[in-house]
Structure 1
Amino acid sequence: MVDTCFMIQPFDGGRFDKLFEDVFDPAVRATGLEPYRVDRDPSASIPVDDIERGIRDASVCFVDLSVDNPNVWFELGFAIAEKKDLCLVCAKGRDRYPFDIQHRSVISYSSESPRDFKDLSDKITERIKALLKKQENVERVSLPEVTAPRSGLKSHEIACIATIASEVSGLEASISNYYIKSEMEKVGYNSLATQVSLRLLLSVEYISMRTEADQDGDPYEVYALTSSGWDWVAENIDRLNLKATTRNNRRGYSDFGTNPDDEIPF
């Protein structure tokens, strides 16, 4: 079965269909995924059911936020609820996004010249490839409720520090509380486990926290690994699973959790 990218955008027989044909479709195909449009699926019979199934089955969802289209917001909301990885784009000129989008990475694009579309295509391909690479390194797993401490940290704390380490590229890079919580939920931990883990990691100075402002001026927390945090990762590298997960396994659950000595899946 071909892995798909579910396309969430207006389809108007005009501008947005041209964008799909000329930019979005080839950019997605360059990643090895098949762009899926439910309106072009001859087997689709009940649109809402087929949309939900298409989103669930997709490796990644692509979303164009340029206009307020009710179908786009419905499909995006469902994709967020399903915790799907998203490649978000938006034409320049939009002033603000809904709260659930504000802390996410959005590719802003203009359409003043052909080079703008080439730049947009390259960024879409790069973003989706990055999402797929992350998926190859982080499995969705079912974790035990209680496990023994390892190197001074409990399993949920290890999962938290590994989540941050897998998403940032150095001491200056950081990710939001919202994103960490979302990734922790994918490996079986709820919001309370995430917040407790963050506070503990702050107290032992493995991570740092600072406050940034979104486009409306509202504050939100971002976290980064400290030098001590990276040292902990290096010292405990044998406890972290560095093997890539095959794409066919991406949507399933592994056998992790049956043994307290299992590796943390990052």
Structure 2
Amino acid sequence: MVIKKEKIENNDCFIIMPIADHPDYKNGHFKRVYEDILAPACRSAGYNPVRADDVTQANLIHLDILQKLLESPMAICDLSTRNPNVLFELGLRQAFDKPTVLVQEVGTPKIFDINMFRYTEYRNGLDYRDVLSDQLSIQKVLEETQQAVLDGKSVNSIIKLLSITSPATLQDTNTFSDKDYFSILMSEIHGIKSAISERDKLNQPIKRLIGSNKKVQYRTYHYYIYFEENNSSQALKSFSEILIENFSLNEVRFTSSDSISISSNEEISELAFFELANSSNLKIKQIEELPF
């Protein structure tokens, strides 16, 4: 089969697949699937394979991953294990009507909602001959999908299946205000905190075993914040609600219309206080961290 050549700067193929180890598989299984089957198939089809953990830019990592997910001209989605994050990312590719090749391990139960789509299976034993055969099969589907896109044909597209004329589009971030970026930043911080909190919960049994004979000490941080005069009660309420939403606080108490005391289980930077106050239309005059 002859493939029409199209010169494009971005030839990434985003690999949507489980990243973390799964209890039903040996440790490192999906990393081997990526390195031994999916990545070589991409390269043979003329694409540069990219996985979520390859995205290493220094700014907001989740946004980088989503941007790469949506900007890559091709993607492979591994449906094995029915991973929720995998299905979410597949849904985003569908919403933006981006071509995606579906693959799954032999024996994976079919998912009802995408059962009408074409998918390619690979074998999980990672036997040398099977690996080479599976690479070739996936490479062929990638090339056929690329050709179909060039010919304007539908490939695993819910948008075209439902005759939706306008798929989703990305908003120009040049139009974002400082408030928009700050909102995104706080959302990312909240997500990181939640992930750390979940990790700590999982580690608690281990910590109890290791440190059962040790006394654990926790620190509480106390802050006293003075604002410029003549602040509205609504602005102060908004400031306290944002603090409660984004930090683990023990107490928030208004000592007057111009000051507030905060007791927190975690350290809060002055920059965070100033940014949060600014978003609530408040001006901070002074911040004191109390030594107890």
* TM-score, with length taken from structure 2: 0.47
For 1:107, the aligned partner's letter is T
1:108 aligns with 2:121: yes
Higher relative contact order (CA 8 A, sep 6+): 1
Separation (CA, whole Å) in 2 of partners of 1:176 and 1:9? 17
SS at match of 1:84: coil
Distance 1:61 1:29 in 2: 13
Structure 1 66/50 Cα, relative in aligned 2: closer, same or farther at 3 Å?
same
Q: Go from structure 1 to structure 2 and tell me whether the alpha carbon gap of 1:136 and 1:96 turns closer, same or farther (over 3 Å shift).
A: closer
Tell me the distance in 2 between the aligned counterparts of 1:105 and 1:52.
24
CA RMSD of aligned residues (A): 2.6
Structure 2 counterpart of 1:74, from 82, 88, 92: 88
Residue in structure 2 matched with residue 125 of structure 1 by the alignment:
139
* Corresponding position of 1:52: 66
Hey, what does 2:149 align to over in structure 1?
Answer: 135
User: How far, CA to CA, are the matches of 2:66 and 2:87 in structure 1?
Assistant: 13
Q: Mapping of 1:1-266 within 5 angstroms?
A: 1-12=9-20, 14-43=28-57, 45-99=59-113, 101-112=114-125, 113-138=127-152, 181=161, 185=164, 188=165
1:3 Cα deviation after fit: 1.3
2:80 touches 2:108 (CA, 8 Å); kept in 1? yes
Residues in 1 aligned to 2:158 and 2:37: alpha-carbon distance in whole angstroms = 30
Q: Point out where structure 2 has 5 or more consecutive residues left out of the alignment.
A: 1-8, 22-27, 168-292
- CA distance 1:82–1:18, shift in 2 (3 Å): same
CA deviation after TM superposition for structure 1 residue 126, in Å: 0.5
Shift of 1:44: 5.5
Query: Structure 1 regions of 5+ residues with no counterpart?
Result: 139-162, 168-174, 191-266
Count of residue correspondences:
152
Q: 1:37 to 1:44 in 2, by over 3 A?
A: farther
Amino acid paired to 2:115: Q
Cα distance change on mapping 1:46 and 1:176 into 2, 3 Å: closer
User: What whole-Å deviation, never above 9, does each CA across 1:230-261 have from its counterpart, x for those lacking one?
Assistant: xxxxxxxxxxxxxxxxxxxxxxxxxxxxxxxx
Residue 189 (structure 1) shift = 7.3
Percent identity of equivalent pairs: 26
- Could you list the per-position Cα deviations for residues 116-170 of structure 1 after superposition, in whole angstroms to 9, with x for gaps in the alignment? 22121111110111111112222xxxxxxxxxxxxxxxxxxxxxxxx5xxx7xxx
